[in-house]
Amino acid sequence: MNGFYGSAFGNILGTLYFLLFQCVGFLYIKRIFPKKGLLFHLLTGSVSGSVLLQWIPALFAFFFGFSMTAHIMALLFVVISLVLLYVFYHPATAVSSTAPTKDYRQLLRRNYAFLLLAGGTFVLFCILLSTHTILPKNDGLHVGQCTYGDLQMHLGIITSIANQQTFPPYYSISPWDRLCYPFLCDSISSSIYLFGASLRYAYMLPMYFAFFQVITGFYAIADVLFHDRAKSLAAWVLFFYNGGLGFVYFIDWSREGGYKFSDIFTGYYTTPTNLVDRNIRWVNIIADMLLPQRATLFGYAVLFCAIWLLLRAIRNGEKECFLPAGILAGALPMIHTHSFVAILILSACWMLLCLYRSVPHNTSPVEHPGAVLLGCFVTCMILLEILNESSAAVAPVLLFRFGILVAASLVLYGLSLLYRCFSGKSTNNDTLQKFLTTWGVFFGVLLLLALPQLLEWTFGQTTQSGFLLGHFNWGNQGDTYLWFYLKNWGAILLWFVPAMIHCKKEDFDVMSGAFLLWFVVEIISFTPNTYDNNKLLYITYIFVCCLSADYGIDFLRSLKKASSRYLCMIGMVFLCTFSAVLTLCREVISDYTAYSSAQVEAAAFVEQNTSPTSRFLTNNRHVNEIAALAGRNVLNGAGTFLAMHGLYHTEYHEDFRTIYETPAVSADLIRTYDIDYIEVSSWERASYAVDENYFRSAWPCIFDNGEIQIYQINP
C-alpha cells in the first residue's frame, strides 16, 4: 500500500481485482440461468459480483486477517469455483437462443428512454461523487454538503480495516468496541485500497457500480410490475427525483422569518427536501441517501435486485428465482441491516398472501381491497396520533409491545394457514412440495446465510441503548400525521390515493407488504436515531411510486386532448420533482474544506511513521484526519457517529480532559487507555486548556508543522 494518496499502478491493480469479481458474478449467473435475458445476466451478475467481493475476502479474513493473503485466496476460490461450475454443471440450454449482439440491440432499442434519463442521472451522480469525495485542492481536501458528515466515518472504517487488518474489525474511533455496524459496504473499498489504490479512488469505484445497480434495479422492479415502459419510467422519475412541497417555503411571502430562494444555494441544509425547522424531512434519495450513506447505497443495490427476483418468482411464476433472491437477501445483514429488515417483512407478507390464496374461503372477496387497506392504515395512524398527543401519551414501550403483538398475530395466522394448507383437507398433495420448492427454498437459504451474521454482530449491537424502541411517526417533529406526509410527499398523493382505491388484486398483494413495512416504520425505531427509519420507508415508497405511476399514466392516456395530457403531465412533473432539482443543484455547487493542508500532512506522517494499531488521543471532532485518512485508532471518537450506534462512552470525556489539561498527574490514565500518541492542534486547543509547556518538556514531539504537534507517549 502507498498510503491514502495511492498510485496509478495501485489504482490499476485495485480496478482489475474489482472487475474480476464483477466478471465472475456475471459468468456465474449466465451459466446457472442461461435462458434468462441480457438484463437479468447484467444486473444480477453485477450485484452478485459485488456481493462476492464483500463476502469472500471477509470469510478468508477470519483465518488470515484482512490481508493480501486473504484476498488472493478469495480470488482463487471464486475462479476455481467458476471453472468447476462450467466443467461439471451443464444446464439444459447452455447458450441463449439469440445472438449476444442481438440481445444488446434489443435491450437498447426497447429501453432507450430509460437509458437516456438514467445515463444523465448517472453522469450527475459521478460528478457529485467526484466533487464530494476528499477532492484535493490547494488548501486541503474538499467535500460537499451531504458528505461533510457521514463520509468521514466511512473513510475511517475503510482505512482502518485495510491498514490494521484485524478481523473481525473494531471501531477505530472506539477501539475497545467490536465493529457491529454493517461494514461490508466499506470493506469492498478496503479491498481496493489494499492493492495500493488511492483512498479517494477506492472509495468511489464500487459506488459507481452500486448506483448503476440501484437505478437499474428499480426500473426492473417497475417493469416486472407493469410491463409498460412509460409507467416504469414515470415511477423511476418519481422515486429518484422525489421531493414534496418544500419549495413553497422559499417563495417570498413577505413575512418575517421566512426563507429566500437564494438560501437554497448558500445555506447549509436549507433545501426544499431537507428543511428541519419547517419539518421537511423526506430528503431526496440521491442527494441525501445514496450519495453520502454507503450502507444504504450498497444495501439497496442488493435489495432492489432481490425484490425484483422475488417479484419475478411470484408474478411471473419463475420459481428458479427464489434461490438467488434468498441468497442475496441472506447476504444483507452486514451490508445494510435496514435492507435486510425490509426484505424480511416484505417477503413474509407476500408468503402469507400466497398461502392465503391457496386455501379456499367461504367469504366473498372485497370489492375495493386497496381502499379498505388504505382506510384501515390511515385510521390506525390517526388513532395512534390522538393517543400519542393526549395527556396519557402512548409510552414507547407500549408502542413496541403493540408492534410485537401484531407480529405475533401474523406469525400465528401464518402457522394456521400452513396447517390448513398441509393438513390435506383443503388442498391437494402437491401443496407441500410447491411450498418447499419456492418459499421454503427462499427462507431456508435466507436464514442459513443471515443467522450467523445476526448472531455474530447484529444482535450484540441491538442490546445497546436506543435500539428497538417504540416511537410514533419516525421523522415528524410537530405536524399532524396527514399534514406531515402531504407536504413531505406532495403531489404524488394525488395519484396514490385513487390508485389504492382502484388497485387490482395482484397490486393489492404487493402493496400489502409495503403497508406492513410502513406500519412497522411508524411504531418501532430500530436505531437510536429514529430518522434512520426512512431507510425502510423508502422501500415502501418504491411501490407508492409504482402504483401512482400506473394510475397516473392511465389517467393521462384517458384524456382525449393532447394539450390536456401535456399540461397535466408537465404540472405533475413540476410539482413532484422541482424540490429535488433544486436540492441537486445545491449539491452541485456545494464545497467545504473537510481536511486542511496541515491535517493532510499530519495524516500522511502518521500513516508512514506509526504502527497501524497505535492509539491516538485527540479531541472528539468528526473530521478526524488520524482516523479517517491514516486509519489509526482514536480514543476520543466523534459522538455524532458513536451515539447513533449506541456506543458513546461519555464517562471517558473527563479523563481525556484531565490528560490534556493536567498531564502531570495523568500517568495512570495514560497507562489505562494505553495511549501511544497525543495530538495537539487548534481543535484540541479549542476544546481544552492544553498544558503545552508540560507536553513539550515531558514527551518528544515527533511531528510539528506549526498547526499540529504530535507527541509520542510510549517510545
Q: Per residue in 183-223, pLDDT tens?
A: 999 999 999 999 999 999 999 999 999 999 999 999 999 99
Let me know: does 629 contact 621? Beta carbons within 8 Å. no
User: Of 61-75, 194-208, 482-496, 520-534, which range is least confident?
Assistant: 520-534
> 554 is written with which cell numbers?
392511465
pLDDT digits (tens, 9 = 90+) for 659-708: 999 999 999 999 999 999 999 999 999 999 999 999 999 999 999 999 99
Q: Can you give the pLDDT at residue 470?
A: 86
Mean pLDDT of 55-77: 98
Q: Can you give the pLDDT at residue 259?
A: 86
pTM: 0.95
Closest CA to 50 of 297, 345, 289, 340: 297
Closest CA to 198 of 341, 387, 4, 9: 4
Query: Could you tell me the pLDDT band of residue 255, with boundaries at 50, 70 and 90?
Result: low
The secondary structure of residue 619, as a DSSP letter, is: -
Instruction: Please state, for a pLDDT cut of 70, what percent of the chain lies above it.
Output: 95
pLDDT digits (tens, 9 = 90+) for 408-439: 888 888 888 877 777 755 455 577 778 889 99
Query: Could you tell me the pLDDT band of residue 329, with boundaries at 50, 70 and 90?
Result: very high
Task: Tell me the C-alpha distance between 212 and 290, whole Å.
Answer: 11
Let me know: does 517 contact 345? Beta carbons within 8 Å. yes
**What one-letter code names the amino acid at 61?**
A
pLDDT of residue 280 exceeding 80, the answer is: yes
Burial class (CB in 10 A: 0-12, 13-18, 19+), 206: buried
Q: Can you give the pLDDT at residue 244?
A: 92
Residues 6+ apart with CB under 8 A from 19: none
pLDDT of residue 137 exceeding 90, the answer is: yes
Average pLDDT, the chain: 92
> 145 is written with which cell numbers?
454538503
pLDDT of residue 393 exceeding 70, the answer is: no
pLDDT top residue among 361 and 313:
313
pLDDT of residue 95 exceeding 70, the answer is: no
Let me know: does 66 contact 226? Beta carbons within 8 Å. no
Mean pLDDT of 497-512: 93
Cis peptide before 57 (omega within 30 of 0): no
> 208 is written with which cell numbers?
459507481
Q: Can you give the pLDDT at residue 254?
A: 58
Task: Tell me the C-alpha distance between 207 and 71, whole Å.
Answer: 20
pLDDT of residue 31 exceeding 90, the answer is: yes
Residue environment code for 530-549, b if the CB has 16+ CB neighbours within 10 A, otherwise e: bebbbbbbbbbbbbbbbbbb
pLDDT of residue 362 exceeding 60, the answer is: yes
pLDDT digits (tens, 9 = 90+) for 602-646: 999 999 999 999 999 999 999 999 999 999 999 999 988 988 887
Q: What's the Cα-to-Cα distance from 406 to each of 209, 219, 396, 511, rounded to whole Å? A: 39, 32, 15, 18
The domain limits of the chain are 594-712
Mean pLDDT of 341-364: 87
Query: Could you tell me the pLDDT band of residue 464, with boundaries at 50, 70 and 90?
Result: low
pLDDT of residue 252 exceeding 80, the answer is: no
Q: Can you give the pLDDT at residue 253?
A: 62
